[in-house]
Amino acid sequence: MASIVRADHGDWPQRQLILLDGERERGLQTAAELIAKRQPERLVWVSNAPMPDRISEVFPVGASRPASSSASSSASRPASRPASRPVSRSRPISKPLSQPFSRASKSATHSFIAAAIPPAKVQRLLGGECDLLVMDFWTGLDADAIGAAVGSLRGGGLLLLLSPELADWPSWVDPEAARIAVHPFSAAEVGTRFIARLARLLQACAAVERLEGLDGLGPGGGADARQAEDRFRLQHLTTDQPSAALTPAPSATRSAAGGEGAHDPVSRMEPSGQSIGQSAGQSAGQSAGQSAGRSAGRSAGRSESRLAGLFTDRSAGQSKTATSATGPSAGRRSAEAEAFDADEQAEQARLTNAQAEQARLAQDRARPATADQAEAIAAICTLAAGRARRPLVLTADRGRGKSAALGIAAGRLIAQHRLQIIVSAPRRSAVDTLFEHAHAAFKQTNTTQGVESAAELEHLLRFQAPDTVLATTPTADLLLIDEAAGIPAPLLEPLLMHYRRICFATTVHGYEGSGRGFEIRFRALLDQRTPGWQALRLRTPIRWSQGDSVELLMNQLLLLDAEPASDAQVADADLTAVQFVLHDRDALAANEPLLRQLFGLLLLGHYQTRPNDLRHLLDGPNLSVASLCVDGLVLATALIAREGWLEPALIQPIFEGRRRPRGHLLPQTLSAHAGLREAPRLGHARIVRIAVHPAARRRGLGRRLIEAVAARARQDGLDVFGASFGASTELLSFWHHCGLAPLHLGTRHNAASGARAVVVLKPLSPAGAGLIEHARQRLDRDLPILLTGPLQDAEPALIAALIQEAACRPQRIDPAQEITPRQAANPAREVSPCQNIDPDQEIDARQDIDHDREIDARQITNHDREIDPEDWQQIDAFADAHRGVEAALPALARLVRAHLAVAPNAHSEANVDQASPPPTMKHLEPGQLSTSQRDLLILSILQRRSPQTIIATLGLSGRAEWLLLLREAIAALRSLTLTRSRKRVM
């Protein structure tokens, strides 16, 4: 096994969290003093406002300490602290923060890199690290930014949180609330449950150090008693715990960005019923009295404050030095000249040390940092050289070196074996760390063997987005997919089947999605397609110590490690006693166990559930949360948004694409993209998220929840019930069984899911039924044109579903048959939704769901009547002879559309929660084509793709086989159509 840089993670000291809540100016002053005392190597300031001037003034340009001070501090390092700080296996943060938010300045004896980053750009911190992180919640609280930024804080680092007083924080209008507000709500109308919960947990956490009574700090401070109290607290945090501070390197780079001004977003933040000035004055008075009272009994013999020199005029000291250099020393070199020489020597030493440090870091990046990481690297190398079709799945919490392990393995494999490696991830920035470690490993290995130049490394190691890899299928000896939980399974499955050697890596509990959900959803596919797959979990942290208190707190605040009820608990539950619950979100936010269950279920069910989704769930002004529960267990849950009912003045601008009011996805899509101008006038209920517990699936619970939510929406007077999601045959099957019809297919692939967005709808009122019938008519008329244009590359299964839905008769709304949420939660049916449904039973699922959805030859648009005798002559000539496709294309197109409009729906016999396997040539029901025949007809006749594309898509040998199979499919379709016509006449 290769050497390991650091095996004992006890070397990392604990990270600290200090909460500076209360008056903002006081918090900024205290933060400046803490930064000055810590002298961090890398400071990150996360805020929507520029970095305050007082922070950049802590170490002004030209300020320096005696050179001996650094040496003495190193010599007097406590024995409890490791002599050499452990090296993190990630890139330094200076590169991504060099612009445009940072500015560097130099000091002869001190290295200090500072950067101010808005929360929306914290992705720049991925792969980097810092030792002091400040998060300014006065300018807005972004839950995603918290998760991303804290992951860059290394062991021994300090996290400062600036916020209003915890007790008052929920009454303030958070600037970030504007991102949650939907039309017509304002930021002030957004809920504050998320902030109230966060404040409550911070208040109760023993790992959070709160600095209170700091009014007297800084120039013009208060009484000596308050200063003594403050001195005691700051000395405790900066001196009594030396392991928490990092020894500054003898380099000379420091930056300070921005400054205070009129554009500070804090000016927009006002509390309910009071002004900032009033709050600050009251808080200052209270804190001063409390501090003075606490300090009155302290001994007068306490040592002099170590903070006294932080705010003195440094120029006075410089003048004193200059004066002492005159007079008796006139015949010797001036003190200025000696100081200049000393500075030059220190600069040379700094450069030498910096070069040595860079070389050491580059060497360390090429080696594993833990035994877990070394095992992962060995497993990847074995995968590349071992038997094919045995994929590797790496999982880890954040900060365990997963991406670095991928990079080190890639660099070694390229240097030693010249392998062609493709790297893929949801975005390029997610694999920056991977590429840096790959270059380091390649450079180290290449000193003795391997590739000739770094240019060839660039050629052999390439990044491509998942959809690009799927579309182009580039040649690769090994495919590495990082953050696989952020990529939809429909994209991963074809990659799994195409590439013989592939490694999936993902974060289990991360701020960008749940790797556990990925593992559960993807495990069944791996077992089916590649039963020899292997799994490996990295558990040892690299950037911080095991059991780090800050990591545990972040998991609790953001529910990164939320889990649903256990499988055993669900297995023992009585599913016949399931109840529909529309949650009171105030009660939900206060019920931590229930909230963890519910959000954990969403983490499992959706690949991109993030911390901000938790805030939307709790505070979204147009959202509601519903669940199916039994005995305190959440078995299924859904997030519902109310949309539409927009004012008349917005109807035409939305239709023209000039306005997009926030938070109205369904009506906007139907108006701007499906051509239904009046859709925004109606009320819509949209399912935003829905998830069913894995141990309770295939019991009809998802359908029961949908029916209950739809019944409640009907009672509330809404007109349309629907959803929009990345289209797949499995999801279309589920929504079909819930009675919702696909009536719009996006013309572009979604950037996140890689799939086309499909809109499924169900009417709740006569007005809604009219809108849906209008949508069906437009789809029936426009689809032939769309198939040869923007939908030419759409999946054949989706096209087949659209054609059949376009031919359906409208659904009737019978008020006498409306069901209540209670009836929907416990319906009386021939097939109980709490029982397993046997796929072998002949059950008409359409009758079970909606009697108005029955389809037969008399209820469709009569496309087959458009086939005249001349068409049949052309069809016969193509099927039985050698007539060309182009010559017979119009007649063939009418035949295919007529068949697909009345063909048995492929979803009708699928289980409610899982689609049935597609029919094959050996298991065809009467009146069915095989899936391959259906796809061939749609690709060739309706979408009119080129023969070369069809041959590649279906894996055919060439044009001759394509034409032969097409003639056979047309002959079979002709026979089915004639048989159906004879039955109709009889």
- The enclosing H or E element of 927 equals none
* pLDDT-based confidence at residue 510 (cuts at 50, 70, 90): low
Does residue 544 register a pLDDT over 60?
yes
| Model pLDDT, residue 798 | 87
Q: Is the pTM of this model over 0.85?
A: no
Does residue 981 register a pLDDT over 70?
no
In terms of average pLDDT, the best of 91-105, 190-204, 439-453, 892-906 is: 190-204
| Model pLDDT, residue 811 | 57
14 or 123, higher pLDDT = 14
DSSP conformation letters of 609-678: --HHHHHHHHH-TTEEEEEEEETTEEEEEEEEEEEE---GGGHHHHHTTS---TT-HHHHHHHHTT--TT
Task: Report the C-alpha gap between 918 and 939 in whole angstroms.
Answer: 17
| Model pLDDT, residue 753 | 64
* pLDDT-based confidence at residue 4 (cuts at 50, 70, 90): very low
* pLDDT-based confidence at residue 312 (cuts at 50, 70, 90): very low
* pLDDT-based confidence at residue 96 (cuts at 50, 70, 90): very low
231 or 57, higher pLDDT = 57
Does residue 910 register a pLDDT over 90?
no
Per-residue pLDDT reduced to its tens digit, 921-942: 333 444 468 889 999 999 999 9
| Model pLDDT, residue 36 | 86
Per-residue pLDDT reduced to its tens digit, 338-367: 666 676 676 666 656 555 555 555 566 788
The residue-averaged pLDDT of 38-57 equals 85
Question: Which residues is 105 bridged to in the sheet?
Answer: 254
Residues in the chain: 986
560 or 454, higher pLDDT = 560
How many CB atoms sit inside 10 A of residue 416's CB?
18
Task: Report the C-alpha gap between 114 and 818 in whole angstroms.
Answer: 63
Task: Report the C-alpha gap between 525 and 531 in whole angstroms.
Answer: 9
Per-residue pLDDT reduced to its tens digit, 641-664: 999 999 999 999 999 988 999 999
Instruction: Judge whether 778 and 675 are in contact, CB under 8 Å.
Output: yes
823 or 436, higher pLDDT = 436
Strands 104-105 and 421-424: unpaired
Per-residue pLDDT reduced to its tens digit, 586-645: 999 999 999 999 999 998 888 678 899 999 999 999 999 999 999 999 999 999 999 999
Instruction: Judge whether 180 and 615 are in contact, CB under 8 Å.
Output: yes
Strands 741-749 and 720-726: unpaired
Does residue 527 register a pLDDT over 50?
yes
| Model pLDDT, residue 344 | 67
DSSP-derived secondary structure letter, 355? H
* pLDDT-based confidence at residue 781 (cuts at 50, 70, 90): confident
In terms of average pLDDT, the best of 515-524, 568-577, 807-816 is: 568-577
Distance of CA 872 to the CA centre of its chain: 54
Task: Report the C-alpha gap between 449 and 442 in whole angstroms.
Answer: 10
| Model pLDDT, residue 936 | 94
Per cent of the chain over pLDDT 70 is 66
Question: Which residues is 628 bridged to in the sheet?
Answer: 580, 636
* pLDDT-based confidence at residue 752 (cuts at 50, 70, 90): low
| Model pLDDT, residue 219 | 35
| Closest-CA residue to 536 (of 381, 767, 328) | 381
Per-residue pLDDT reduced to its tens digit, 65-80: 333 333 333 333 333 3
Per-residue pLDDT reduced to its tens digit, 106-123: 333 334 567 789 999 887
Task: Return left, alpha or beta for 960; rule: phi > 0 is left, psi -120 to 50 is alpha, else beta.
Answer: alpha
The whole-chain average pLDDT of the chain stands at: 75
* pLDDT-based confidence at residue 908 (cuts at 50, 70, 90): very low
| Closest-CA residue to 696 (of 584, 592, 565, 602) | 565
The residue-averaged pLDDT of 817-843 equals 36
| Model pLDDT, residue 351 | 59
The C-alpha angle 919, 925, 928, rounded to 5 degrees, equals 70
Task: Report the C-alpha gap between 203 and 208 in whole angstroms.
Answer: 8
The residue-averaged pLDDT of 720-735 equals 90
Per-residue pLDDT reduced to its tens digit, 548-572: 999 999 999 999 989 999 999 999 9
Does residue 149 register a pLDDT over 50?
yes
Does residue 248 register a pLDDT over 70?
no
| Model pLDDT, residue 334 | 62
| Model pLDDT, residue 73 | 36
Per-residue pLDDT reduced to its tens digit, 260-287: 333 343 333 444 433 333 333 344 344 4
DSSP conformation letters of 672-729: HTT--TTGGGSEEEEEEEEEE-GGGTTSSHHHHHHHHHHHHHHHTT--EEEEEEE--H
